[in-house]
Homo-oligomer: A and B are copies of this chain.
Amino acid sequence: MSATLSAARLAAALTPPVGVAYRDLADQIRMLIVDGRITAGSRLPSERELAAATGVSRTTTARVYAELREAGLLRSRRGSGSVVCVPFGESSASSLIVTPADDTGIALTYAAPVAPSGLGRAFEAATARLPGLLSTPGYLPDGLPALRELLAERYAARGLPTSPDQIVVTSGALSAVSLVARAFVEQGDRVLVESVSYPHAHEAFVSAGARLMPVPVVADGPWDVEAAVAMLSSGRHLAAYLIPDFHNPTAAVMSESERGTLARAMRQTGTLAVIDESMRDVNLDGVALPPSFGSFDRDTLLVDSASKTIWGGLRVGWIRAPHDLVMPLVQARMMHDLGTAAFEQLVLAEVLRDPEPVMTSALDGFRSQRDHLVALLAEHLPELDVARPAGGLSVWAGLPDHNSTRLVAAARDHGLLLTPGPRFFTGAPIAGEAFLRLPYTQSPAVLDDAVHRLAKAYEGRRADHAPAGPRLDLIA
């Protein structure tokens, strides 16, 4: 709970102050707290230590901490120094994470859509099958048999022969990754990850004791395959976690030959491949995707969910596992949740019996929202480097002056919640200052309003920027 943050580590997460130094530093630390990079209960370094590590004066760090204390983000504990707290009451958990503090604000922190039309009917149809379920205790540690069969057939139809026994139904894709981590990771195990990725999945591995080994980012995609192969050969890695299809957040797709090379390296080094395919179906432009990573390595753990193309509120995901890894997964579950809600599995089974209408409705919506957002950005924020993603649920925008955290802080003042780029980076978060993830899972009207606010924030922040120069050197 109460990790102590060293002065060096905190200093590394900060950029040199601009404008009024103490205010800017307090602002930067506030963002680190708000977006979860510094968690509640963490102990900050002393004012003296922080001054030494950042090169600002002791008076400045004293004012930084006073500022944070006044904002209710820091309190002093007897003998424990300054401890971070996120004051309750000011903002509830939901308002902090999912929705802005007041109803007039907009949150673009999540890439999660409302339910597509047709899902309500699936709920009704599932209700008809409910009595059979209510006459059981309802515990389904590996999943509802009918759903496991449908999911197995779905893999088979994609060229991956699968038996229902190989499916473990979980409470979403993140819950699947977390389960894999808890089942297989031991304290100190190395896990290869993409240096840009979905942060909660990385946190799930860390929470299970893993040491993350990020593969460096290259210009045109998140995979430096050569570096990854070298890393795997250099020492034992328990697992590698990758998102090869419409990678979150970059939307990149791993090529067939890259998949082959990585799968071979993992097989040779005994590394467990944990492949997140939860974006694979969000194929907006009907791109011909390379075969699933599971085709290259039979021992892969494939992770997927209904959250993107169907609905996140279902909280249903699943793992396709090699036969001998199913039981350890189910056993790990016995210490955590005993199974996924039974009725939701009936609902998903209903959808999967005839998925086209629901999926088509979802994809049509995403496609027009994507096009709308890309057009808005071209018109109102032409400085941003925006490519139209062929799939996935967000635009990964390049920021010419590497100011993601400050831009996000400014947007917040305009009632727009965003996730700062560094949040998606493991290893060298500072590199994330050059990026901003902009999800298009909300309606065109909301996107209009959001881009309007973002443009205002962008204008407002440019004035007091320090010249971009030394900061570039920090990018890994």
Q: Are B337 and A142 in contact (CB under 8 A)?
A: no
A140 at interface, CB cutoff 8 A: yes
Q: Are B312 and A207 in contact (CB under 8 A)?
A: no
Q: Are B313 and A343 in contact (CB under 8 A)?
A: yes
A336 at interface, CB cutoff 8 A: yes
Q: Are B337 and A174 in contact (CB under 8 A)?
A: yes
A458 at interface, CB cutoff 8 A: no
A41 at interface, CB cutoff 8 A: yes
Q: Are B323 and A140 in contact (CB under 8 A)?
A: no
With both beta carbons as reference points, the residue of chain B lying nearest to A327 in the complex is identified as: B86
Interface residues of A in 107-137 (CB under 8 A from B): 110, 112-115, 119-120, 123-124, 127, 130-131, 133-137
Give the CA-CA distance A137 to B123 in the complex, in Å.
16
With contact pairs A36-B331, A89-B323, A344-B343 given, residues A337 and B178 touching in the complex (Cβ less than 8 Å): yes
Query: Which of A186, A209, A324 is the most central at the interface, judged by chain B CB atoms within 10 Å of its CB?
Result: A324
A138 at interface, CB cutoff 8 A: yes
- What 1/0 mask marks residues of chain A from 28 to 60 whose CB sits below 8 Å from any chain B CB? 000000001001110000000000000000000
Write the nearest CB–CB distance from A85 to chain B, whole angstroms. 7
Q: A175 — which chain B residues lie within 8 A by C-beta?
A: 336-338
Name the contact of A141 in the complex, choosing from B94, B316, B347 (C-beta under 8 A).
B94
Give the CA-CA distance A204 to B124 in the complex, in Å.
36
Q: Are A335 and B178 in contact (CB under 8 A)?
A: yes
Give the CA-CA distance A141 to B200 in the complex, in Å.
13
Q: Are A334 and B200 in contact (CB under 8 A)?
A: yes
Q: A115 — which chain B residues lie within 8 A by C-beta?
A: 134-135, 138
Q: Are B441 and A137 in contact (CB under 8 A)?
A: yes
Q: A2 — which chain B residues lie within 8 A by C-beta?
A: 186
Name the contact of A97 in the complex, choosing from B94, B114, B141, B337 (C-beta under 8 A).
B141
Write the nearest CB–CB distance from A343 to chain B, whole angstroms. 7
A155 at interface, CB cutoff 8 A: no
Q: A182 — which chain B residues lie within 8 A by C-beta?
A: 207
Q: A130 — which chain B residues lie within 8 A by C-beta?
A: 120, 123
How extensive is the interface on chain A, given as a class? 35 or more
Interface residues of A in 66-124 (CB under 8 A from B): 85-86, 88-89, 92-94, 96-98, 110, 112-115, 119-120, 123-124
Write the nearest CB–CB distance from A272 to chain B, whole angstroms. 10
Give the CA-CA distance A140 to B465 in the complex, in Å.
37
- What 1/0 mask marks residues of chain A from 186 to 225 whose CB sits below 8 Å from any chain B CB? 1100000000000010011011010000000000000000
Name the contact of A40 in the complex, choosing from B124, B328, B344 (C-beta under 8 A).
B328
Q: A138 — which chain B residues lie within 8 A by C-beta?
A: 112, 114-115, 311-315
With both beta carbons as reference points, the residue of chain B lying nearest to A312 in the complex is identified as: B138
Give the CA-CA distance A165 to B110 in the complex, in Å.
22
A326 at interface, CB cutoff 8 A: yes
Q: A457 — which chain B residues lie within 8 A by C-beta?
A: none
A389 at interface, CB cutoff 8 A: no
Q: Are A336 and B174 in contact (CB under 8 A)?
A: yes
A309 at interface, CB cutoff 8 A: no
Write the nearest CB–CB distance from A409 to chain B, whole angstroms. 20
Give the CA-CA distance A278 to B114 in the complex, in Å.
33
Q: Are B112 and A134 in contact (CB under 8 A)?
A: no
Query: What are 5 A-B interface contacts by the 8 Å CB criterion?
Result: A1-B183, A88-B327, A110-B139, A115-B135, A172-B338
Listed in ascending order, the chain A residues whose CB lies under 8 Å from chain B are: 1-2, 36, 39-41, 85-86, 88-89, 92-94, 96-98, 110, 112-115, 119-120, 123-124, 127, 130-131, 133-142, 165, 171-172, 174-175, 178, 182-187, 200, 203-204, 206-207, 209, 311-316, 323-324, 326-328, 330-332, 334-344, 347, 441
